[in-house]
Amino acid sequence: MSTLNNVVAKPEVEGRKLSIVEALREALQEEMRRNERVILIGEDIGIKGGFGGAFTVTLGLSDEFGSERVIDTPISEAGFTGIAVGAALGGLRPVADVQYADFLFLAMDQLANHAAKMRYMSGGKLKVPMVMRAPVGATTRGSQHGQSLESYFMHVPGLKIACPSNPYDAKGLLKTAIRMDDPVLFFEHKLLYGSKGSRKESGGLEVFGAVPDQEYLLPFGEAKVVRPGRDITIVANLLMVHKAVLAAKTLSEQGIEAEIIDVRTLAPFDWQTVFDSVGRTGRLVIVHEDTLTGGWGAEVAARVADSCIGYLQGPIRRVTAPDTPVPFAPVMENFYVPSVERIVAAVKEVCQ
């Protein structure tokens, strides 16, 4: 992973160098200052002398905004998610913090049956402006603390889904999410938080990016081409964007120029950017850390096959985790998570 630190994908903007944790914290702080109806709710997010949540994102915010707006809860994901839904229906804008995305399964009824459907079932009279922040990705914590769950929620109409890969996107998308009138699942990869600070992630990337001093928002539904290329399109999210960048460097040395698209949000999804890229390159590889069967890459493959079949010059390939639980042993986890080498091999196979 050390080599990966040198080639992380960076947006072309100017500003201070922040980590994703710092960018997320700044987004929360700015939105709480801007709107007194924005509250934070979750486990261990405001304890005096604590970490500031599982990964320090809310560190120090309770000092400024107090315990009435940075609300610590018991260990009950079903409970505080239900509170967040109710608070949103009552006019607040809660940002809920689930320590690990795996625990979202404990709140599926609240998210999939209530938050996602209230606006539709009320004919638009009710709104649920809430954000659920959820760390994903395998980090040697085993099967119940390392899953990538984006696809589950992409399947639920009424939910918006963000998955930023860098600090600039993380801040801009979170600020937009907080201002939305629909519920947002905001996924953050644990290895992109970094390997320094009070909560170190073994193997974490030092992803520092330029974040402007002035306020900015990023719209949902706009993917970003992080690397142009002529021979093949690689579509990825979160940590896999950075691995795709490294794979593209290796491929370039072998005469293959890959175009890399960071999807940034899964719902809404920017289909046109993907279609346009595939129309130029004629080939597609999709990379995500979720399992193969039913992963969001399957939907991308199906839509591209439906809309771009006349442009394709080879089969669509997916580089994903296998259809098994996340293993605990580090050597097995390294095998489980898609690698740079697997991305390179898939691209070369498609380009033959």
Instruction: Report the share of the chain in percent with pLDDT over 70.
Output: 94
Q: For the segment 25-59, what is each residue's pLDDT rounded down to a tens digit? A: 999 999 999 999 999 999 999 888 788 999 999 99
The closest alpha carbon to 234, from 306, 168, 224, belongs to 224
Helix residue spans in 35-123 (DSSP H): 61-65, 77-89, 108, 118-121
The closest alpha carbon to 285, from 309, 320, 253, belongs to 320
**Contact predicate 331/133, CB 8 Å:** no
- The catalytically annotated residue of 145, 189, 242, 288 is 145
pLDDT in the model for residue 199: 57
Domain 3-211 and domain 224-351, same fold? Reply is: yes
Q: For the segment 304-321, what is each residue's pLDDT rounded down to a tens digit? A: 999 999 999 999 999 999
pLDDT in the model for residue 237: 98
**Contact predicate 165/262, CB 8 Å:** yes
**Could you give the C-alpha distances from 276 to 197, 233, 301, 307, in angstroms and in order?**
41, 10, 14, 10
How many angstroms separate the CA atoms of 80 and 75, rounded? 9
Q: For the segment 55-110, what is each residue's pLDDT rounded down to a tens digit? A: 999 999 999 999 999 999 999 999 999 999 999 999 999 999 999 999 999 999 99
Q: What angle do CA 49, 87, 94 make, to 5 degrees?
A: 50
307: how many CB neighbours lie within 10 A of its CB?
Answer: 15
**AA letter at 252:** S
pLDDT in the model for residue 1: 38
Q: For the segment 100-158, what is each residue's pLDDT rounded down to a tens digit? A: 999 999 999 999 999 999 999 999 999 999 999 999 999 999 999 999 999 999 999 99
How many angstroms separate the CA atoms of 321 and 342, rounded? 11
The closest alpha carbon to 288, from 114, 190, 149, 157, belongs to 149
The class of domain 3-211 in CATH terms is: alpha beta
Phi then psi dihedrals of residue 64, to 5 deg: -85, -40
Instruction: Report the share of the chain in percent with pLDDT over 90.
Output: 89
What does the domain layout of the chain look like in residue ranges? 3-211, 224-351
Residue 333: which residues within 8 A CB-CB, separation 6 or more? Answer: 138, 140, 146, 326, 327
Say yes or no to pLDDT of 172 above 90: yes
Tokens representing 145 are 């603390």
pLDDT in the model for residue 135: 97
Burial class (CB within 10 angstroms; exposed 0-12, middle 13-18, buried 19+) of 140:
middle
Please give the distance of CA 94 from its chain centroid, rounded to a whole number: 19
pLDDT category at 203 given cuts 50, 70, 90 is low
Say yes or no to pLDDT of 196 above 90: no
pLDDT in the model for residue 3: 54
Q: Say which range, 202-216, 235-249, 259-273, 282-296, has the weakest mean pLDDT.
A: 202-216
pLDDT in the model for residue 2: 38
**Could you give the C-alpha distances from 110 to 58, 81, 103, 134, 135, in angstroms and in order?**
23, 7, 13, 15, 19
Mean pLDDT (whole number) for 248-253: 98
pLDDT in the model for residue 51: 84
pTM for the whole structure: 0.94
pLDDT in the model for residue 200: 60
Q: Would residue 288 show up in a list of annotated catalytic residues for this protein?
A: no
pLDDT category at 350 given cuts 50, 70, 90 is very high
CATH 3.30.70.1380 fits 224-351, yes or no: no
